[in-house]
Amino acid sequence: MQRVLGLVTELRREEVVTALLMTLNGFFLLMAYSCIKPVREALILSHPGGAEYKVYMGGATAILLLGAVPAYAFVAARLPRNRLIVGVTLFFGTHLLAFYALGISVGPTLPLALAFYLWIAIFNMMIVAQFWAFANDLYTEEAGKRVFPLIGLGASLGAVAGAGAAAVLIDRVGSLEMMLLAAAILVGSAGVTEWVHVREVGRAGSARARHEATQAVGGNAGDAFRTVLAQRYLLLIAVFSLVFTLVKTNGDYVLARIVEDTASEAVAAGALTARGVPDYIGRFFADLSFWIDVISLGLQAFVVSRVVKYFGLGIAFLMLPVVALADAATMAVLPILVAVRIGKTAESAIDYSMNNTVRNMLWLPTSRRAKYLAKQAIDTFFVRAGDVSSAGLVFVGVQLGLHARAFALVNVVLVAGWLLLARAIIRENARLTANAAPEA
């Protein structure tokens, strides 16, 4: 098994079992989310104005996170990691049962659709941040850089499996029933978490390590945001998360505008009928998503660990902003769908594989309190704030009558700032690693 996994990353013999369990855990969590993601779309888009409601929900989610993150920090400060993670996972699982019961009893009403949309936005962000906090707590920096690519592969496979399961099962059992499947998967995830915790506590090399693994991180509800603001490294990651999300969401909007314009031009030229526009756009994005998923899986399986090993965390972290800069420049200078599609495919594939894994590696040299509390604040609120900022930018730009090229030029400027942030984060990461080396 060690030799087989060596195709993905380098593992030591004693690491194989726990690494596989964490990979399975990541598979479960992303599969659960992907199973209910189509249900979210089905509920909200079945009502008039559903697309507009989706835009408004981004701001509502950010507001709710201002309360949800401190609430999570309050609980995390008082419970050991296994009780925290298992408890929160099952807590979300019971919500799925409640939503299912409401859907059966009252039907797919608009209040239910809006509530579920808000819930799933918070669930997906908090549960994934919690999972990676656990992974950061389990591994040293050296081990994490080797193991995280494998764990990320499990999450990627889970997302694909969940989407595939939903595509097959919704027609056969119904969309609401996917909530029951997701709840059962979350129970499996909770069981794996407890298994890993017990196993690693038993294998701890010292009484101090065992004690730390079974104790709460301490602090209070306000420490999630306070820890971010108090440490330069964490504040840099927070600002980076906001800017990165702003660039990504703004780029998605530019792509959508170019696709719409291309379809309109095809209709004007007689190459496409007006009735065929929805099918044309649907086929484009389905094909785009397919190739992004395929390429990102390949990168996650065979490239991520090798780039980190041979070129270092810094080069791996800079790959996405360099590609994003090229993509934004292409959109601004040559807004042709073929060229933009190639750039967006490369950007998204690297984001879902390399960038996602490396962003979680950034937390390896931080304290346990930062991993469990500050990570929740950054991976939820600050990421969602980037979406809200993009929505505001789009609203202003549309009112001013700006074309897609103008939004792409904004992204060029934003990516330049992103590169400066990335360099500063890499320097701080190296400093933290060097300071922790004597203690190791």
pLDDT at position 275 is 85
Is 215 in the same domain as 317? no
pLDDT (average), residues 33-54: 83
Residue type at position 208: R
Contacts of 176 by beta carbon, 8 Å cutoff, 6+ apart: 39, 100, 103, 104
pLDDT (average), residues 373-381: 96
Mean pLDDT of the chain: 92
Phi and psi torsions of 335, nearest 5°: -75, 55
pLDDT (average), residues 377-384: 95
- Single out the residue in 192, 221, 250 at which a domain terminates: 221
pLDDT at position 368 is 94
User: Tokens representing 32?
Assistant: 């659960």
Q: Cα Rg for the chain, rounded, in angstroms?
A: 22
Percent of the chain with pLDDT over 90: 68
Is 80 in the same domain as 192? yes
Is 84 in the same domain as 64? yes
Cα(404)–Cα(342) distance, integer angstroms: 17
Q: What is the DSSP string of 317-362?
A: HHHHHHHHHHHHHHHHH---HHHHHHHHHHHHHHIIIIIHHHHHHT
Residue type at position 306: R
Is 207 in the same domain as 260? no
pLDDT (average), residues 124-152: 96
Cα(215)–Cα(212) distance, integer angstroms: 5
Is 153 in the same domain as 254? no
Is 133 in the same domain as 209? yes
Percent of the chain with pLDDT over 70: 98
43-71 burial code (b ≥16 CB/10 A, e <16): bbeeeeebeebeeebbebbbebbeebbbe
Q: Select from 353, 349, 341 the least CA-distant residue to 285.
A: 341
pLDDT at position 274 is 86
24: left (phi over 0), alpha (psi -120 to 50) or beta: alpha
Is 202 in the same domain as 280? no
Is 253 in the same domain as 171? no
Is 195 in the same domain as 322? no
**Other beta carbons less than 10 A from residue 435's beta carbon:** 10
Residue 153 sits in which domain range?
Answer: 1-221
Question: What is the per-residue pLDDT across 173-209, written as a single tens digit (0 to 9) for each?
Answer: 889 999 999 999 999 999 999 999 999 999 987 888 8
CA distances from 347 to 14, 91, 251, 418 (A): 36, 35, 10, 14
Sign of the CA dihedral running 122, 123, 124, 125: positive
97 touches 179 (CB < 8 A) = yes
- Single out the residue in 174, 200, 221 at which a domain terminates: 221
| Count of domains observed in the chain | 2
Is 183 in the same domain as 306? no
- Single out the residue in 186, 221, 256 at which a domain terminates: 221
376 touches 69 (CB < 8 A) = yes
Q: Which is more confident, 151 or 277?
A: 151
CATH number of the structural domain spanning residue 397 = 1.20.1250.20
428 touches 232 (CB < 8 A) = yes
Question: What is the per-residue pLDDT across 205-233, written as a single tens digit (0 to 9) for each?
Answer: 788 888 888 999 988 889 999 999 999 99
Question: What is the per-residue pLDDT across 55-103, written as a single tens digit (0 to 9) for each?
Answer: 678 788 999 999 999 999 999 999 999 999 999 999 999 999 999 999 9
Look at residue 440 and tell me whether its pLDDT is greater than 60. Answer: no
74 by Cβ neighbours in 10 Å (0-12 / 13-18 / 19+) ranks as middle
